[in-house]
A and B are shown apart, each in its own frame.
Chain A
């Protein structure tokens, strides 16, 4: 969002540095200082930018939970209050000024299966300018992307109330029975036709999935059967708003009622500033299928009581209750000392839906106090440090493996199915691999079940290096394991490869002997370690190794891994050309 100088002036800020400082203090991101012209040059080239404005613009990013700062109106208001240049406005829900009946939205039971909630409100006698109108549209879009979760939770529809007449009906119908002229189209379409029309729409196609497979589509009619909107996809053309619109009917349909209420509150609190009677919002009634009637917008103010001591102790400051109340007021949380001890009464306005606990209030006090004004102190927490045994062993072994002439590689924990199966001449079903459901590319199909593919790929990427290449990695692979709560566990393994003009089995074998020496395991069949040919594995199971050149490694009678010369097919499949021997062992038995 872009702020200009005029807005900065309204918060009494003149210098860029001062604004930068304010953003930092308040928790905003000042992305860049630019101008309309610069933006156009960057996005569309120099020609389009001719005649564009040179006025300085400040690009701002706001924190994800502060919906009240999502539009210029809200951001400037928030900063003005923070700088004590403005008192936070009080938002008021009012009955129709003419004493008539409020607008009414009736929900039918058909909506229950697809999008059961709806809320509504009216902005009376609003005055748009081009800027205000654009900001109004932009805020809806931002809310849609943000709190509305790409319209899945909430969809906003705004309508020129003077073109339609209530009561309005929110229902759901089979797509074939819905027919209307949507926004920006010149003729009527059935809902089914619209879904195929929007398949290629760069913007709308992202929302189609929300209702596409539903038997009934949500739809809102006025009393004359005119379609207001088909949420969450598109509004009707008939009721579209323009610069000249004076009275706006706002409806939000939702699968999450809490979010719908917040969204509606946001739209009306931000833009009621342009109504003849600023910060007032005309109520609307929503009637549920069971006959219940609710009045919206809620615009609820909630009061929390907390002690100055609580704030002081949590933040690490020592302020009076009065001064804390003043700090909170600057954050749009109007606060007063209650007179009882150091208790402070804090009023949370409808714009601050992010404040759900005393800790949120505490944070606002800390922000207003200034994080960087808080004295930094060291807690006296006394503890004794412990290393995780498997990491301690890993650290010690890594050092000695490099001393043995092997270089450490660091490879990805995620890889393709092919890497751990086909390329190693194994069947994927035998790997006990954990599979990822939503990989964007084949590189992230599974969690690795072996460190070997990563090492071989590292060699392939470094074929220009002088031979021999001696690499190792001590890291985790992931295996399915029913005994764990999540059905999988990590396994810390040591893998090393020797790549040269001759296979160098003796080198890899020597490394095993060295590792066992480091682990204080002596050669021997029972209490020691030994290796033995694993012909059976070669022919019926484990075919990564060259026949007759593979041995299984046993320590204290338990199989801990393999070593051997890699099968020529494995070497070729990793785009290598030289013989290669490898060792792969589980180090967890040595903890």
Chain B
């Protein structure tokens, strides 16, 4: 059960208040408690009735405390009960004989005749005159005491202890008594003991508040072990909760959000503007989704495009270039952007078209890769990216900003590894020490944008642009303990997981 219930055990055998109060009065009289069987005997009611009364009293809270126990107990059989009421067979035979005697054949017709006759004979309570005129006749010899009946009546009154074991075993042999195990309660006063019963209310009502009657009422206790009723509400998706937190971190650090709502990008902005050569493997059909409709981009800043072409094919701005035949046809090809850095390139180009002011940009949005799918890779994922452009930024600055950023994620131990990336130089992989795994794990990538990317845009020579990126899915999977990315992203999501996922605090 998931909601609190009023304890209702024994409700069906709930005894009337009169009986309950009788029980309570008995319990009041004894210090140290009493057995429910004794209570039954004292009140002259069946023990099962008392058991029901005990359960009803328990339901009232701390009125009594009752501990279940079991005991051996002697009980009359059906025949035993008959004897306790009507006397033993032999006594019934004896009592049926008048002083002048009774013909034997008449006596034998009595219900207890056969058994009673032989038992009375062996007790020598009667004698048989076989030679009596008119047929054999039975006469009383003595006055008798019906001890069997007396004993059974003792047991019936719950006083079997007054009999010796030998006597009880004799009666058991005669199938008049049987020994049974009885479950009973040891009843003692509870912490709120009282001999009067007030009916317990299940809930507080407006009427009670209005009338003030709640002051006199007793309320049934709640079961605090049960779960509450789930609130009727919607739930945010865990990946989006983590996105909100990353957004928050960037905003706290003074970063402005980039317009990444353009999944379709030209090869020019996705690759060429980043000084990624046209033969680069990332531009292969195996890695990138190209677009068949609309296949080509048709509008570029023409003089910038010429500068990009030149730096690729001939070099310039202090660069040797890649020295290959740069083709506009390749740059025109539309694709699903493979990184949000395409948008960073557009933003930096735009920045270069005005008087330079330092900027800090960020974005968190979808990127697409035509890759082989597995438990941790999908064809689309979210890239988190941060970019800072200012005069005189150093590699040490990049590491300093990364340290601040990751500190907000609760990650303070960082180290940096040289890496290769076509559009950043230097390039650094960011590693953090994972306390659980006891090793350094890669948490992101970073670098300083190449002059071959920035100078053709028209940014001033002294301006450095540092940037870093990571995926949103990976930290989310770690945060929420998800091993298969399909359970997190896409339609195969487990909605129960969405319902159950806690709020996201990245630094704790």
Which residues of A does B touch, CB under 8 Å? Answer: 24-27, 63-66, 149, 152-153, 256-259, 313-317, 356-360, 362-363, 366-367, 371-372, 374-379, 381-388, 390-391, 395, 398-399, 401-414, 434-440, 443-444, 447, 454, 457-458, 460-462, 465, 469-470, 472, 476, 478, 480, 484-490, 492
Contacts and interface: CB of A to CB of B under 8 A. Distances in A.
Q: What are the 9 closest A-B residue pairs judged by CB atoms, nearest first?
A: A316-B396, A27-B418, A316-B394, A487-B294, A457-B491, A402-B234, A437-B292, A63-B420, A363-B426
B394 A313 contact: yes
B256 A398 contact: no
A486 to B, nearest CB: 4
Contact of A256 (B233, B324, B419, B492): B324
A382 B495 CA distance: 43
A409 B491 contact: yes
Interface in B414-456: 415-420, 422, 425-428, 440, 448, 450-452
Contact of B233 (A317, A403, A435, A437): A403
B354 to A, nearest CB: 15
A383 B393 contact: no
Contacts of A379: 388, 390, 393, 397, 400-401
Contacts of B139: none
B55 interface: no
A80 B29 CA distance: 99
Contacts, number: 287
Nearest to A367: B418
10 contacts: A63-B420, A357-B425, A371-B417, A378-B400, A379-B397, A383-B256, A414-B379, A435-B293, A486-B266, A487-B334
Contact of B417 (A24, A440, A460): A24
Interface in B292-306: 292-300
A499 to B, nearest CB: 11
A457 B495 CA distance: 12
Contacts of A360: 425
Contacts of B426: 359, 362-363, 366-367, 371
A486 B297 contact: yes
Contacts of A358: 318, 451
Contacts of B265: 486
Contact of B261 (A27, A376, A469, A476): A476
Contact of B289 (A66, A439, A490): A439
Contacts of B8: none
Interface of B: 232-237, 239-240, 244, 247, 250-266, 279, 281, 285, 289-300, 315, 317-325, 334, 336, 358-360, 366, 368, 370, 378-380, 388, 390, 392-397, 399-401, 403-404, 415-420, 422, 425-428, 440, 448, 450-452, 464, 488-496, 498-499
A359 B448 contact: yes
Nearest to A374: B396
A468 to B, nearest CB: 11
A65 to B, nearest CB: 5
Choose among A357, A367, A402, A465 the residue with the greatest number of B CB atoms under 10 Å from its CB. A357
Given A376-B403, A382-B254, A469-B495, 4 more contacts: A371-B399, A371-B428, A404-B234, A408-B235
Contacts of B334: 486-488
Contact of A388 (B258, B378, B388): B258
Contacts of A413: 263, 366, 368, 380
B396 A317 contact: yes
B240 A410 contact: yes
A438 B297 CA distance: 17
Nearest to A440: B370
A410 B395 contact: no
